[in-house]
A and B are shown apart, each in its own frame.
Chain A
Amino acid sequence: MADMTVPTGSALLDTLPSPANGQRRRKRRRSAASRWRQVPGYVFLSLAAAASLFPLYFMVVSATNTSRDVLDSRLLPGSNLLANLESLTAGQNLVGALRNSAIIAVLTTVLALIVCSVAGYGFEVFHTKAKDRLMAVLLMAMMIPFAATMIPLFQMFAEVGLFNSWWAVILPAISTPFLILLFRQSARSFPHEILDAARIDGLSELAIFVRIFMPTMRATYAAAAVITFMAAWNNFMWPKVILLTPDAQTMPMLISNLIAGYVTDYGALMLAVLLASLPTMVIFLLLQRAFAEGITGAVK
């Protein structure tokens, strides 16, 4: 890839004012030139931001419009929000689906954060050759597509009678190599002097983890929480396979059902989509800074 693009780069280079050309000019001229050079960047960012935000705006506005208005491309807020909510709750168990999704997502996130952070910390702090090898094996699980495990998992949960159970959705999502890796990488920046000092003070290994590691790694926990909650809240294929009764269905399943009939109520559909998106958007906006920090900390 790099080989192919370098010629393009140097060809473009000739057409752009380079710092060397501008060196002799006065400072004011140079800063003006560099400001002009930023224009394509701002244009590109504006286009990308508009393209990213427009479908979301469309979703929000359409949730307040009638199905007719949605198809007539009305892009202003309407007054049909309550009617959409009524038609949505009339045909579907909206509260039940929201509750199921919330319970599954929260339990998955809490359990995944505990199990994976403990393991990531363990792999880093107590590492031995054998544990490093185990980590390498676990990392290979990242390459296993869910499709390749779905049928046996389905049979396994059927055997123990966990159809329609939250646990059938939660259990496969708790321990993921990605989260373990994230925590192991950030545990690397955890100073060993603190560990030693705590051990001399007589703290147990578990106490060191709970009282010292967990509070200092808040950003990593935030990043892991955002990633896990979103994945659990948005999961579709597996819940659709294992949750069979209407009472057990989650929000993505409910939304998917809304287009099953011959006539789709687009206003109600967009309202359901909005309701399903609000929790993940709010969580992301709240934890955004910590999320970026956590990812960056793990990369360094």
Chain B
Amino acid sequence: MPTLTARERPAKERPAKQRPTKRSGFTITRKQNLIGWGFLIPAALLIFAMSFLPMFQALIISLRTGRGANMNFADPLWMNYERLLSDSVFKLTMQNTVIYLVIQVPIMLITALVLANLLNSRRLRLKGFWRTAIFLPCAVSLVSYSMVFRTMFSNDGLVNDVLVGVGILDTPVHWLNETGTARFVIIVGLLWRWTGYNMVFYLAGLQSIDPSTLEAAKVDGAGPIRTFWSVTVPQLRPMILLTVIMSTNGTLQLFDESFNLTNGGPSNTSMTMSHYLYELSFRNAPNFGYAAAISYVILILVAVLALIQMRVGDRRG
């Protein structure tokens, strides 16, 4: 299983570390092997107890109905999943989440890529300032920035004051109370918060690109834009794949913005899947079985999209 071992170090380097212990090689290697397990066990146990075990428990819960101590297996077993198909709120939250994903992630990643490329230029002045300024939004919590945007986009807030003052708008827009604009504000917020974060990953990737490939492109007469798309971007492919998977994963789990910035409104049209799951689990009459079924839809979406992205990333690479 070459894909599972995930190691690239050539085998010839490995015997070196065992050489000094050659005389009693077997026992010492074995002892080291055991010590190695000792190093891994705490982390591995925690991940099993806090991620894998609950994940399987959630699957079982998703097959059950009832409350509290009166949870029984549903009849038929897939009842909760069947109910999803006719739940218009669920479909709406799924649609909202997909809209955020499809619009926001590409804009963000392309912007981050362009910014990283500009910052990587040797002749650029004030490099540190640009990098810090663009990354700084990442230091603000999701709840905090949601509140800042909520304030700026409130009915008599800054954005309306400026747009009406400049004459772009005649009357204030109720940004957070209309479907299209509420989604728009969430997307703008996400772009603001996460573009710099992805830029840092691209910057790190750019620094490991061999400058001679860029020189070669220059010698061959390629301009900066051509060099960027044909030489830089292909070499950044692993990093682009990583950021695409991270952003997809993050977007499918959006909660804080939906909860704090728009509170899912108006009438659930900006609510995300995770937000709906929270409402079902911990508001009014909790329904853990049904909520767990929704959590499995999110899980499957994340896994399927990651698999597709990895396959596409591999084939191009």
Contact = CB atoms under 8 A, between A and B. Distances in A.
A6 B229 contact: yes
A288 B54 CA distance: 35
Nearest to A55: B148
B177 interface: no
B230 interface: yes
A16 B52 contact: no
Contact of A129 (B5, B133, B256, B302): B5
Contacts of A32: none
B256 A237 contact: yes
6 contacts: A116-B43, A118-B43, A122-B40, A134-B44, A147-B274, A151-B291
Interface of A: 2, 5-6, 8-10, 12-13, 16, 18-20, 34, 37-38, 41, 44-45, 48-49, 51-53, 55-56, 58-59, 62, 70-73, 115-116, 118-119, 121-123, 125-129, 131-136, 138-139, 141-156, 171-172, 174-177, 180, 188, 192, 195-196, 199-200, 205, 209, 230, 233-234, 236-237, 241, 251-252, 255-256, 258-259, 266, 269-270, 273, 276-277, 280-281, 283-285, 288, 292, 295-296, 298-300
Given A145-B295, A205-B32, A5 B229 contact: yes
Contacts of B50: 149, 153, 171-172, 175
A136 B46 contact: no
A295 B17 contact: no
The winner among B225, B239, B252 for most chain A CB atoms within 10 A is B225
A274 to B, nearest CB: 8
Given A128-B36, A148-B55, A296-B204, A234 B143 contact: yes
Contacts of B4: 132-133, 136
Nearest to A237: B255
B162 to A, nearest CB: 7
The secondary structure that dominates the B interface is: helix
Contacts of B149: 55
B140 A277 contact: yes
Contacts of B145: 55
Contacts of A143: 249, 302-303, 306
A121 B43 CA distance: 12
A136 B6 contact: yes
B47 A188 contact: no
Contacts of A59: 140, 144, 148
Nearest to B61: A151
Contacts of A139: 6
B7 A2 contact: no
